[in-house]
Amino acid sequence: MKILVLGSGGREHTFVWKLAQSEKAEKIYAAPGNSGTAEFAENVALNVDDFQGIKDLVINEGIDLVVVGPENPLVNGIHDFFEKEVELQTVAVIGPKKLAATLEGSKEFAKEFMKRHNIPTAAYSSFTSESIKAGYEFLESLTPPYVLKADGLAAGKGVLILQNLEEAKKELASMLLDSKFGNASQTVVIEEFLDGIELSCFVLTDGKDYKILPTAKDYKRIGEGDTGLNTGGMGAISPVPFADESFMKKIEDRVVKPTVRGLQQDNIPYQGFIFIGLIKVGDNPKVIEYNVRMGDPETEVVIPRIQNDFVELFQAVAQGRLGDVVLKVDKRSATTVMAVSGGYPGAYEKNKEIKGIDQVDESIVFHAGTKEQGNTVVTNGGRVLAVTSFGNSFNDALSRSYDNLKKISFEGIYYRKDIGFDL
């Protein structure tokens, strides 16, 4: 099998690393990839939204399977594009088609889906510039904090949580009238604030059957104690200790089953990952969002714990045979800690030489924003690398990640020292 992985983050390095362990992987390509994927794959300098360039690559190299990492090409319809092009119809694509990807591409669509299928989520209402007055009145009817969400994709920045009514009204106006998040905030979903602890549930589905993958908890804020600005994610642990058997059963019965069944009932085919963001409110799971891909850095702890051959797993998804697969999961805990560039998530510099990766032992370094420059590896993004470790407990795994992070250096390196602090 020749396989193409689309994307360039830690998630994609993890996919490439895992796929490379399969005897069925004849050759792997990554587009555009990073310095980490280059170890197992041929990097091809193509943007993930360059569908024509991807088509040419797939045809010229005889690629059989395309694994789509990030949401953008999915929401822009890469899977539909492959289905329409005659020469690409035999190529398997892991990642849903455009309509299904709307579960991530539009918060309003996702909320309507949950309402239709009785999936527990926060109460909500959505507004446009025409209905802004009703939006103000709706805010007045709620108690703080106020949760405002840009309907469309806003690179993880489109959710505002505000304590003050006047501020919430001002932000609603800025989103609807001044395009605070561009087209993404033409519609705004206002929802009930859910008070509880977050976790993520990952599902792999062929549209008919599903496998629940290991749970994970992500740490999104830049500062320790979950303070400061939101980032793509600063670290993760798997499994989530409070997601015990009875809670997982609630997630499966109330969320996962109705989601997969709902997709079938709505005639929405789905081949790929569903990443369900949840909040545990009291003893019950409520959905805060759907993503139509794996999380990053959650992938860096979830995928290493899965012991199945990933080429076989993806083939089963593509051929609708997931029901025959038995998922094998490593019982140990996995943690990852993300090292980022100084200044991230604000402005930061690139091209800083990274030293010490070769000193790491008993951990896996997944590259995110890195590239090769001559014989050195340099920083090439905000999130630079994720150090993943296993342990008998998550604390045990964490101490291994932190010991190894001490050996890695680049100018401005920062990482949170408190991943898992709230557990």
3-state secondary structure of 20: coil
Instruction: Work out how close the CB of 74 gets to ligand AMP at its nearest, in angstroms, rounded to a whole number.
Output: 16
The verdict on whether omega for the bond into residue 285 sits within 30 degrees of 0, i.e. cis, is no
The item of ligand AMP, ligand GLY, none sharing an interface with residue 289, based on CB under 5 to 8 Å by kind, is ligand AMP
3-state secondary structure of 37: helix
Joined together, the tokens standing for residue 313 give: 């797993």
The item of ligand AMP, ligand GLY, none sharing an interface with residue 191, based on CB under 5 to 8 Å by kind, is ligand AMP
The item of ligand AMP, ligand GLY, none sharing an interface with residue 198, based on CB under 5 to 8 Å by kind, is ligand AMP
CB 148 within 8 A of CB 159: yes
Does 369 contact ligand GLY by CB under 6 A? no
The item of ligand GLY, ligand AMP, none sharing an interface with residue 296, based on CB under 5 to 8 Å by kind, is ligand GLY
Does 152 contact ligand GLY by CB under 6 A? no
CB 210 within 8 A of CB 204: yes
Q: How far apart are CA 5 and CA 16, in angstroms?
A: 7
Q: How far apart are CA 239 and CA 113, in angstroms?
A: 28
Q: Which C-beta is closer to ligand AMP: that of 288 or that of 386?
A: 288
Does 255 contact ligand AMP by CB under 6 A? no
Q: How far apart are CA 169 and CA 176, in angstroms?
A: 11
SS3 content of the chain, % helix, strand, coil (to 5): 35, 30, 40
Does 354 contact ligand AMP by CB under 6 A? no
| Best CA proximity match to 161, nearest among 187, 130, 194 | 194
Does 288 contact ligand AMP by CB under 6 A? yes
Instruction: Work out how close the CB of 279 gets to ligand AMP at its nearest, in angstroms, rounded to a whole number.
Output: 6
The item of ligand GLY, ligand AMP, none sharing an interface with residue 122, based on CB under 5 to 8 Å by kind, is ligand AMP
Amino acid at 246: S
Does 296 contact ligand GLY by CB under 6 A? yes
Query: What does the binding site for ligand GLY look like in residue numbers (CB under 6 A)?
Result: 156, 218, 232-233, 291, 295-296, 298
Query: What does the binding site for ligand AMP look like in residue numbers (CB under 6 A)?
Result: 122, 147, 159, 161, 191, 193-194, 198, 220, 277, 288-289
